[in-house]
Amino acid sequence: MLILKSNDIKSSEITDYDVYQDRRRFMKNAAGIGIAGVSGLPIVEALAKGTASPYSTSEKPTEYEAITEYCNFYEFGTGKSDPAKNAHSLVTSPWNVVVEGECEKPGKYSLEDLLKPMNIEERVYRFRCVEGWSMVIPWMGFQLSDLIKRMQPTSKAKYVYFETLLDPEHMPGQKRAVLDWPYVEGLRMDEAMNPLTLMGTGIYGKDLLNQNGAPLRLVVPWKYGFKSIKSIARIRFLETQPVNSWQKANKHEYGFFSNVNPNVSHPRWSQRKERRIGQFRKIKTQMFNGYGEQVASLYSGMDLKKYF
Ligand SMILES: Nc1nc2c(c(=O)[nH]1)N[C@H]1C(S)=C(S)[C@@H](COP(=O)(O)O)O[C@H]1N2
Ligand SMILES: [Mo]
């Protein structure tokens, strides 16, 4: 039987991924025969209730260790292993998110108030970085659309803008001018309202680690990874299109839309293929990272070479 008791096995003998897969298999079986509530993990509950998201891919998730140790978070250094080493200094509790601009419910919300009414679920998404690596990540999170509806944007709100916390004391990378801090991003309102767009709160059924953008980050699976801004402290509803951090840094190389598109090269490299972390062979990158069915209509009639 697949019930794992913590004293049956030394945790050093198994990876988190194996535990996760075993729990999943067990709960899928349990759901079938009507057992529920065996574990407090939200992901397990979701599976037990048979509510695994139709938006999830069935591809094999990347190992938990890889997702949490191979990161991009310039606030903690520019190397891939820097965030895992350095992000412990980020203070995520208490955490507030300022909501402002073109909406009826502006204010400073505590993380607790923000999360309380939200439906947090698991979504297993492909995630493709502009540099050519990719992962499959079992996120926990809620639809950004639910938060936007709560904030009641006015008819002038055409874009949603996000800011990462500005705190050079606890984010040592912000002491160096590698980017214009704080890190900022934006989405057009229809992109933000798309059901695929998540506010991420966890991975593998656990809270986000600091290096992955705790306590709250964006997850936009059909766009290059840099759109998925981490550790969000400010959300602003705007009438005009904001300029994001990577556009500010180099507008010839990074655009506002940044949709995954194998047909549009980065000026310095092709985007046709990607390396899935943990796999040996490169694989073909799919248009919109494989989410065309859900999002292609957002861009109908747009020249995606011009609006890259
Ligand atoms: N605030 C902030 N958000 C950020 C970044 C960053 O440097 N700072 N890096 C981006 C890039 S380029 C990628 S690929 C993803 C990486 O997310 P991960 O480390 O959780 O895989 O975060 C994005 N969000
Ligand atoms: Mo990235």
Q: Ligand 1 centroid to 42 CA: how many Å?
A: 25
Rounded to whole angstroms, how far apart are CA atoms 211 and 188? 26
Q: Ligand 2 centroid to 225 CA: how many Å?
A: 5
What is the sign, positive or negative, of the torsion defined by CA atoms of 167, 171, 176, 177? negative
The reported pLDDT for the residue numbered 37 is: 35
Ligand lying nearest the CA atom of residue 70: 1
Asked if 266 and 293 touch (Cβ cutoff 8 Å), the reply is: no
Asked if 271 and 264 touch (Cβ cutoff 8 Å), the reply is: yes
Nearest CA owner, ligand 1 atom 8: 73
- Residue 218's CB is within 10 A of a number of other CB atoms, namely 23
Q: Ligand 2 centroid to 72 CA: how many Å?
A: 6
Could you tell me which residues are beta bridge partners of residue 207?
202
The reported pLDDT for the residue numbered 21 is: 59
* Within a domain: 168: yes
* Within a domain: 306: no
* Within a domain: 305: no
Angle at CA 123, nearest 5°, toward 233 and 166? 15
Nearest CA owner, ligand 1 atom 1: 230
* DSSP labels, 245-258: HHHHH-TTT--SS-
Q: Ligand 1 centroid to 104 CA: how many Å?
A: 30
Rounded to whole angstroms, how far apart are CA atoms 227 and 135? 15
Backbone angles phi and psi of 218, in degrees to 5? -85, 150
Mutation probe of ligand 1 site: the residue of 65, 69, 72, 80 with most atoms within 8 A of C-beta: 72
Q: Ligand 1 centroid to 133 CA: how many Å?
A: 13
Predicted TM-score (pTM) of the model is 0.87
Q: Which residues line ligand 1 (CB under 6 A)?
A: 71-75, 129, 164, 183, 212-213, 225-226, 228-231
Cis upstream peptide for 138 (omega within 30°): no
Residue 70's CATH number:
3.90.420.10
* Within a domain: 304: no
* Within a domain: 227: yes
Structural domain boundaries, residue 257: 6-299
* Within a domain: 1: no
* Domains of the chain: total: 1
Rounded to whole angstroms, how far apart are CA atoms 137 and 228? 13
Nearest CA owner, ligand 1 atom 5: 73
The reported pLDDT for the residue numbered 46 is: 56
* Within a domain: 13: yes
Q: Ligand 1 centroid to 196 CA: how many Å?
A: 18
Across the 308 residues of the chain, what is the mean pLDDT of every consecutive 10-residue run?
Answer: 37 48 52 38 54 90 98 98 98 98 98 98 98 98 98 98 98 98 99 98 98 99 99 99 98 98 98 97 98 98 98
Atom of ligand 1 nearest to the CA of 70: 19
Nearest CA owner, ligand 1 atom 19: 71
Backbone angles phi and psi of 22, in degrees to 5? -65, -40
Based on the number of CB atoms within 10 Å of its own CB, is 233 exposed (0-12), middle (13-18) or buried (19 or more)? middle
The reported pLDDT for the residue numbered 258 is: 98
